[in-house]
Amino acid sequence: MSDITVRRDAPIVETDKGKLRGFLYKGVYNFYGIRYAQAKRFHMPEPVDAWEGIKDATAYGYISPVLSNPRPSGEVKIPHRFWPSSEDCLNLNLWTPTLDKEAKKPVIVWYHGGGFANGSALEQVCYDGQTLATEKGVVVITVNHRLNVFGFLDVSDFGPEYENSGNAGAADLVASLEWVHNNIAAFGGDPDNVLIMGQSGGGGKVNTLAQTPAAAGLFHKAVLLSGGMGGLRMRREPAPSDLLPKEIMKEAGVSTIKELEEVPTMLFIRAVNLAGKKLEAQGYSFFWGPKANGWYLGDPMTAGVSDYYKTVPTMGGTVFADLVMARYTKDVDLYTDEEATALVEEKYGKEAACDIIAAFKEAYPDKRIIDIPTLDVNIRRGARDYLMNKAKESTAPTWNLLTTLTFDYEGGSPAWHCADLPFVFRNSNLLPLYDGMGESCDRIRKAMSGAICAFAATGDPNNDETPVWKPVTADSFNTMVFDETIECKEDFDTKLGDLIIGTNKAPSFGGMSAFGDPNGVSTADWMF
């Protein structure tokens, strides 16, 4: 008998707007490209129109347009899938082990990385929800929404109908949760047990939803991985709010926002890039992302933790080499300790290097001196501050994890940005680099995905695959470290972080231009 079922009359699910047909594969029901809302450029999302008959949901939907074509790179470390784009991109993909309306399975809603500018719900091969649905019995959803200028251009100065235009892409996220709340029971999920989770920019999206009153009650647990918790040194001084829209209108050859709404997508992107690059050359800086205005309350570290977020169990996580772009001239296993020490001394100075190396050996006794140049401390420190503050302000528990496994890549590379995601999705076997490492990757895959799914079910990540996991408190930064050995440690690397940050030379990801090349040249490596 075939592993897959795709019939005209099965599997069918009736949503609040009409019927959808997906397919059944190895015991998991797959539904792709489900439209959860619709929207005009610069406007808030609106409910989709109801339909007659049965809509097909067996193909992924369009992803959001981006301002710079991705330049494929690093596919051994982070395999990607690139996909057609359109402004009609408010869709989601869903995997579920059952269509029993009474099953009430935990629901995991995934928001992709790429800041608020790039990426998609299917960009990484590991985002597939089939394995979690099969082996852990959860419902998995991945979401596309408007990005960059399509989701976050603030044109509120041009009329009351655009009041929240700077948060339109964030409003899409709320609309996706409203769809889940209204429809997930028909897909076997529990609308009262929804975990929102994201990595990098996706973590920022989780943080945004946590501080958006319109999302309160639509989710019940939160996971932020390598994002949304601070630690990035980006230029974010805002330019005058009407400056960029006016310059875009000039480049597009129109005189009103209404006319700009109708400019064809590709011409609009070119006008945006021309305008943005011109203003950047004049010293202005721009950043795509939500804007505090009452609808969105602002980052909890500055605006305070929202009343609802205080009640939400929360988990944060980072990786060893988060967004640290260290450059070596040879495979790292070819460096002697003397050569590695010289590199550390060159970066931090001889006196500071001595203390840093000693503290590194204490915190990471199984790592090598040559790993120090790749060590992230900024995002890790941002996570520490964020999670301890969240624990202090909240009635719900807070947890932390750190991935430090060294991979068999160019002589041994500690976990990079996104290296934890194949474990989170229980899909490390889909990636040759991971699958080739055998037992260590398999052990972390089971433990980390088990923790995420336990957390989704109960708000507590403790499970049979990990030792006892202590929560973060206002006074104690407990971390479950995933490596060859999985263990919970308390404040084990704080001293090391203090030493490196104290040099003012800590490696940092300084961000990138908000705009692409006006001539369409691919300039952006997708590393998320």
- Across the chain, mean pLDDT equals 95
Main-chain phi, psi angles of 244, to 5 degrees: -65, -50
Main-chain phi, psi angles of 106, to 5 degrees: -60, 145
CATH fold group of domain 4-66+86-235+289-312: Rossmann fold (3.40.50)
Q: Burial, 146: exposed, middle or buried (Cβ in 10 Å; 0-12, 13-18, 19+)?
A: buried
Q: pTM for the whole thing? A: 0.96
438: pLDDT confidence band, cut at 50, 70 and 90? confident
pLDDT tens column, 35-69: 999 999 999 999 999 999 999 999 999 999 999 98
125: pLDDT confidence band, cut at 50, 70 and 90? very high
Of residues 464 and 238, the one with the higher pLDDT is 464
- Write 266-270 long-range contacts (CB < 8 A, 24+): 268/149, 269/65, 269/67, 269/149, 269/516, 270/518, 270/520
Query: H helices of 68-160, where?
Result: 130-136, 148-152
Give dist(CA 512, CA 525) in Å, integer. 11
Element containing residue 208 per DSSP (H, E): helix 201-210
pLDDT at 510: 64
74: pLDDT confidence band, cut at 50, 70 and 90? confident
pLDDT at 238: 64
pLDDT tens column, 220-272: 999 999 999 987 654 445 678 899 999 999 999 999 999 999 999 999 999 99
pLDDT at 234: 47
**Residue 103 CA: distances (Å) to CA of 27, 80, 94, 272, 354:** 15, 33, 16, 47, 58
Kindly state the average pLDDT of the residues 510-522: 81
Residue ranges covered by each domain of the chain: 4-66+86-235+289-312, 238-286, 326-378+397-502
Please, are residues 4 and 24 in contact by the beta-carbon 8 Å criterion?
A: yes
Render the burial of 258-278: b for 16+ CB within 10 Å, e for the rest: eebeebeeeebbbbbbbbbee
**Residue 426 CA: distances (Å) to CA of 195, 452, 454, 455:** 17, 10, 13, 15
pLDDT at 119: 95
Statement: residue 374 has pLDDT above 60: yes
pLDDT at 237: 56
pLDDT at 266: 96
